Amino acid sequence: MVLDDCIWGFFWLHGYGKDFIVNRQDALLITRLVTYNQINLLRVINTGAADGAYNMALDEALLESVKKGGWATLRFYTFSSPAITIGYLQPIQDIDIKRCAVLGIDILRRLTGGRAVVHDGDLTYSLTIPVGHPIFGGTSLETYKKVSLAFSIGLKNLGVRARFVKTSNKFSGKNPSCFSSASRYELQVRGRKILGSAQRREKGFILQQGTIPINPHRVVNFFDNRESTTLSEILEQSIRVEEIVDALLCGIKVMGTKIVVGELTGKEEKYADEVRNKYLSKDWIFSKKTLDKSKFFEYI
């Protein structure tokens, strides 16, 4: 009997190869076992650099995948060219569109909430999980707290001592930048923000996206980000993305999650290719978005 990739992934994790043969009755029993054990598995993917539209499309693909029973996934990625992502509900008027056009900076609207992020010399992550995930699931604040705890442990391995923000800081409504202030359970170093995150919750599933600045922006700053810092500034030296990812994964493991280093599936890649143009369309970027309570969505 042919078993799907998730089930074979379980056996691969436990030392079996694809030549392992089972009959139908055993396969059904195995499926129940894998379903139970897969709850605590987290597929980790580092997709490297890509353009902003594809990165946003791929996060949507991973959310759709986990909703259909696919892997809970932690993805790390970077942007191949400078871009600004804005929150799902954020007004486009917050952004200097003409300036972006002159400098060749893409403007993208995320699925998640929050405020604008300049992606230029940073490491971005996305986490797509069921709300019931035993390690990172729970309420909005619980997921923020657990992810930040894991990442703070990882950053400590780099010599970066990051602390929780216990209460959201006051910020000026005139500053549309995510990194102009810190929200509860985001991370700061010496009072300056080093991790910003945002969520979308959809019918029992979570997409959380977040960013860790590595280097100062190569483009002229769009926002007053004096309340934030970068890893290279803290460490007083440059650091490779791979080193950061390895350190963060150490923190993820400490939380008790079983990690499977994996790759995108063909279906996920196909879905991302199909919806990529949506993130380039003016209808998506410029239209005013509203909270759709009828679909039980949250944009945080």
User: Which residues are part of the catalytic machinery?
Assistant: 178
∠ Cα 276 212 69 (to 5°):
50
Residues 6+ apart with CB under 8 A from 202: 63, 67, 295, 296, 297, 298
Rounded Cα distance, 300 and 298, in Å: 6
Q: How many CB atoms lie within 10 A of CB 295?
A: 8
Q: Which whole-number Å values give the CA distances from 272 to 79, 113, 195, 280, in the listed order? A: 16, 20, 26, 13
